[in-house]
Structure 1
Amino acid sequence: MEALKQELKEKIVSVLNFEDVKPEDIESSDALFGDGLGLDSIDALELIVMLDKDYGIKLSDPKEGKAIFQSIDTMAAYISEHRTK
């Protein structure tokens, strides 16, 4: 699970083109939206595409995404349960 969390941090920094944030700067329990990393709805779309492309997970319900994208911890738990790749 820790390897998956590290992989997610690296992918988020890469996919979202963060210049001032390194994977090691992100805590697994930090909020991804709002006061945490401060991601927005465009970033959420990028994360949805990443889940589909890298893990074979298709999200169709936006409410589902809100729960999944709370933190690296919640993303990793969801991916480990639902991944097809």
Structure 2
Amino acid sequence: MSAHSELVESLKRDVIEVLNLEEIAPEDIENDAPLFGEGLGLDSIDALELTLMLERSYGCRLTSPEEGRKAFASIEAMAAYIEANQK
């Protein structure tokens, strides 16, 4: 498994844990499915939780709402953001 694939799987587990999505398994989350709206149906409170998770667990700090929208588009987008911005 590549480092990117491992990061994607780790992110799925972290999102489920941080947001208490007990009824969802990591394999239920498609890599490119939207996290907000029709995909997982997350909301603005969830976005705050994910922002904190990125800072604490991955050392990435979002600098603007626009950056957050791009980073949280999907699990795949979040993984790419971490790979590009991890300190």
SS in 1 for 2:52: helix
Equivalent residue number for residue 8 of structure 2: 5
The equivalences for 1:42-81 within 5 A come to 42-81=45-84
Q: Percent identity?
A: 51
Whole-angstrom distance in 1 between the partners of 2:54 and 2:86:
9
Whole-angstrom distance in 1 between the partners of 2:78 and 2:22:
22
Shift of 1:54: 0.8
> Which amino acid is 2:65 matched to?
P
- 25, 28, 31: which one pairs with 1:28? 31
Shift of 1:13: 0.4
SS in 1 for 2:53: helix
**Structure 1 stretches (4+) deviating beyond 2 angstroms?**
none
Unmatched 5+ residue regions in structure 1?
A: none
Shift of 1:55: 1.1
Whole-angstrom distance in 2 between the partners of 1:50 and 1:19:
17
Shift of 1:60: 2.5
Task: Give the alignment's TM-score, normalised by structure 1.
Answer: 0.95
Equivalences, count: 84
Unmatched 5+ residue regions in structure 2?
A: none
Shift of 1:26: 0.4
